[in-house]
A and B are shown apart, each in its own frame.
Chain A
């Protein structure tokens, strides 16, 4: 019966892609490569322009200014300190775009290496996520400047900021892993991503409040869109300046872990095909 054979095959395949301790240990052995790839990304990005950091900050600051103009002058939303509110969302969003779109290209862009040298290819999308994390951290500087300008002093709940950042790191790693592997058999992944990212931007509470959504949509938003929860984390810590509901933070973290596991599963299913097809 071919059906049963196929089922066993898929079952075995599923089992084999779960990263065992040896796989994770190997990934850990290659942390030096991860570090070097991130360092290379940053060096290349900032080498040719002394004000490279400035350029990477220009986009979120300019976007933030535009949204602030739209939602305080043209169409007042009534949110106080709207510039801060929207900048937090934009920084988290920019990290997401950089990690997912860049991550999708990472394996194909290093095809010559994947074909010719043995190394865990996972480090490629993960390094993209991390180098975009570094940009995110740089961008926190103007964010804090803006906070002080608006007279808001961050409270002790700031110690939870690393937890929020790690949550997003895990979430984005899962997405980048899946996108990088899918881009090998499906070469139009980038085109599909363009559309998906645009849609996702508007379906994420970057420039609006979840609480303002009609009916039950706000509940649904936190369930369906982990990024909404991640941005909510940042806002609780940096905008509302209060202690978050621990349950909410844990739930967001678990959500991110689940996305990471799913992304790694997709990557694992395609891993053996990468050197042949890239």
Chain B
């Protein structure tokens, strides 16, 4: 049985910059003659002929770039927006986790807000009552549950929002990147909850930028590009197709419009760059400590003696974190000709949470003549991992030890008077 069916769903937004936004403007418009066809009207199709079916009890992932229509699609499925054409059929109660805690009122306590939020999602008081303890437990609020929500930290709000929505026992759960909120431990429990949902035979529709998560959790995936379905089916092949396309797009960007980002004599060209995780799957999401492989596909247009391949990792535009190459590593490549692959393997990616830019280069043995240089054209994102956290961009694998500890706080001796502060102008000896 299908839990959700979208049949040729299209959604058009009409932007009318000339439309009066107030009674005042409407009134002025009455007296000012308007050109008949001059009313500007910008149409924007956020979704176009999107068709798919989600079988009951499966997990369905939606991937795509920002602005590809993913969130609009979720809102249409959740019945918040009405499609311009096409039909959506939903069997069962839907809970949409589009924004955690959106309905909370700051003056009310956590407990009062649970009831309010529950009723916004269409639940009866006794249904909320039956799950109240579970919700409070999951949100880890303890006695704060009877404190007005305005005193909560943002983490507490997010936990409460997730706890309420997920415990209200929907048949179909719709989530939009909400698994990426809160601290790592809470994210973990959210994921566990989603797994539990899936095991209980519930239907889940999720949007995520984390392609590994989509591969891990989903039975099927959909790739949305500018409101249209580009691929539908097995999550591994869909995410791979999406990733290939996104990489190719980054490459086209590299090729044409930004000459200052790529230069060289192009006797050897780097034709493609991939980031691989520990299993060899392409991705651009890593966690601190994960293995990382950067794979360069090259094409040598003539025989090149002793080339050197290098990569660079940058934080933003200014901080160059590391720039290894094959020559420093002692890998002597006698010559190359035609197509080939070079891999740079990192056993543990010891970068902390953040977005990093990656450069790649091919040069001659002296490192002075560049064949092809891609200056910070690729990006990879690192998530934090408990136990692998540090301030600054780098985590050094190390351990802390505590030797010869002093027991208890240090107290001054009785009768001890602190030395007077050094008078200014005199150098301490």
Contact = CB atoms under 8 A, between A and B. Distances in A.
A187 B120 contact: no
Interface in B12-43: 13, 19-24, 26
B107 A47 contact: yes
A165 to B, nearest CB: 25
Interface of A, helix, strand, loop or mixed by DSSP: helix
B229 interface: no
Interface in B119-162: 119-125
Q: What size tier do the contact residues of chain B reach?
A: 20 to 34
B102 A185 contact: no
Contact of A30 (B20, B26, B119): B119
A19 B112 CA distance: 31
Contacts of A29: 122
B99 A188 contact: no
B45 to A, nearest CB: 14
A118 B80 contact: yes
Given A29-B122, A186-B23, A116 B96 contact: yes
A7 B70 CA distance: 35
B103 A40 contact: no
B223 interface: no
A32 B21 contact: no
Contacts of A187: 21-22
B80 A32 contact: no
Nearest to B113: A40
A166 interface: no
Interface string A15-33: 0000000000000011011
Nearest to B21: A187
Contacts of B99: 112, 116
B254 interface: no
A117 B23 contact: no
A239 B173 CA distance: 57
A118 B112 contact: no
A188 B23 contact: yes
A44 B105 contact: yes
Nearest to A43: B108
B75 interface: yes
A116 B115 CA distance: 18
B292 interface: no
B23 A112 contact: no
Contacts of B119: 30, 32-33, 35-36
A36 B125 CA distance: 10
Q: What size tier do the contact residues of chain A reach?
A: 20 to 34
Nearest to A272: B82
Interface string B379-415: 0000000000000000000000000000000000000
B22 A186 contact: yes
Contacts of A112: 99, 102-103
A113 interface: yes
Nearest to B20: A186
A35 B128 CA distance: 15
Contact of B21 (A113, A118, A186, A275): A186
Interface string A267-278: 000001001100
B105 A275 contact: no
B81 interface: yes
Nearest to A182: B23
Contact of A192 (B19, B23, B115): B23
Contacts of A119: 120-122
B78 interface: yes
Given A36-B116, A40-B116, A118 B78 contact: yes
A15 B23 CA distance: 26
A72 interface: no
B13 A276 contact: yes
Interface in A47-83: 47-48
Nearest to B26: A186
A116 B23 contact: no
Contact of A113 (B13, B24, B26, B120): B120
Contact of A36 (B20, B26, B115): B115
A115 interface: yes
B347 interface: no
What 3 A-B pairs come out closest when comparing CB atoms? A188-B22, A33-B119, A32-B119
Interface of A: 29-30, 32-33, 35-37, 40, 43-44, 47-48, 112-113, 115-119, 185-189, 192, 272, 275-276
Given A113-B103, A116-B98, A116-B99, 14 more contacts: A33-B119, A33-B120, A40-B105, A40-B112, A43-B112, A47-B107, A112-B99, A116-B102, A117-B96, A118-B80, A185-B21, A186-B26, A192-B23, A275-B75
16 contacts: A30-B119, A32-B124, A33-B116, A36-B119, A40-B105, A44-B105, A113-B102, A116-B96, A117-B80, A117-B103, A186-B23, A188-B22, A188-B23, A188-B24, A272-B82, A275-B81
